[in-house]
Structure 1
Amino acid sequence: MPELTAAETVRAADETVHDIGAKWMLDPAVSRHGKELGYANPFAFYFAGRGGVLGDVDAEVVSAAFGWFEPGFTRAMWENGIAVAGAREAARRYTTAFTAWGEQHLPDDRRLSELAGRVVETAAGSGLPLFAGWRAEPLPESGPARLVQVLHVLRELRGGLHLVATTAVGLTPLEAALTHGGEGRAKFLAWQGDFADCTALKPLRLEAEEITDRLAAKVYERALSPSERAEFADLVEKAGSAVLS
Structure 2
Amino acid sequence: MPELSAADTVRAADPVVHDIGAAWMLDPAVSRHGKELGYANPFAFYVAGRGGVLGDVDASVVSASFGWFEPGFVRAMWDEGVAVAGAREAARRYATACTAWAEKRLPDDPRLCALAERAAAAAEGSALPLFAGWRAEPLPDGGPARLVQALHVLRELRGALHLVATTAVGLTPLEAVLTRSGDDRARFLAWQGDLPDCTELKPLLLEADEITDRLAARVYERALTPSERAEFADLAAKAGSAVLS
Give the TM-score category using the shorter length. over 0.9
Equivalent-residue separation in structure 1 for 2:68 and 2:32 (angstroms): 25
Partner of 1:72: 72
Equivalent-residue separation in structure 2 for 1:106 and 1:152 (angstroms): 13
Partner of 1:194: 194
Q: Deviations over 1:174-222 (max 9, x none)?
A: 1011011100111111001111110000110111011000000000000
What SS is found at the alignment partner of 1:138? coil
Partner of 2:116: 116
Equivalent-residue separation in structure 2 for 1:213 and 1:152 (angstroms): 18
Moved beyond 3 Å, runs of 4+: none
Equivalent-residue separation in structure 2 for 1:83 and 1:222 (angstroms): 41
Which AA in structure 2 matches 1:120? A
Matches within 5 A, 1:74-223: 74-223=74-223
> What is the aligned-residue RMSD (CA, Å)?
0.4
Q: Deviations over 1:7-26 (max 9, x none)?
A: 00000000000000000000
- Report how many aligned residue pairs link the two structures: 245
Unaligned runs of 5+ in 2: none
Partner of 1:9: 9
Partner of 1:243: 243
Equivalent-residue separation in structure 1 for 2:244 and 2:168 (angstroms): 32
Equivalent-residue separation in structure 2 for 1:182 and 1:231 (angstroms): 35
Partner of 2:19: 19
Equivalent-residue separation in structure 2 for 1:89 and 1:73 (angstroms): 21
Identity of aligned residues (%): 81
Which AA in structure 1 matches 2:108? D
Unaligned runs of 5+ in 1: none
Q: Deviations over 1:50-102 (max 9, x none)?
A: 00000000000000000110000000000000000000000000001010001
Give 1:146 deviation, angstroms: 0.1
Partner of 1:29: 29
Q: Deviations over 1:158-179 (max 9, x none)?
A: 0000000000000011101101
Equivalent-residue separation in structure 1 for 2:159 and 2:240 (angstroms): 18
Partner of 1:49: 49
Equivalent-residue separation in structure 1 for 2:103 and 2:78 (angstroms): 27
Give 1:155 deviation, angstroms: 0.2
TM-score by length of 2: 1.00
What SS is found at the alignment partner of 1:171? coil
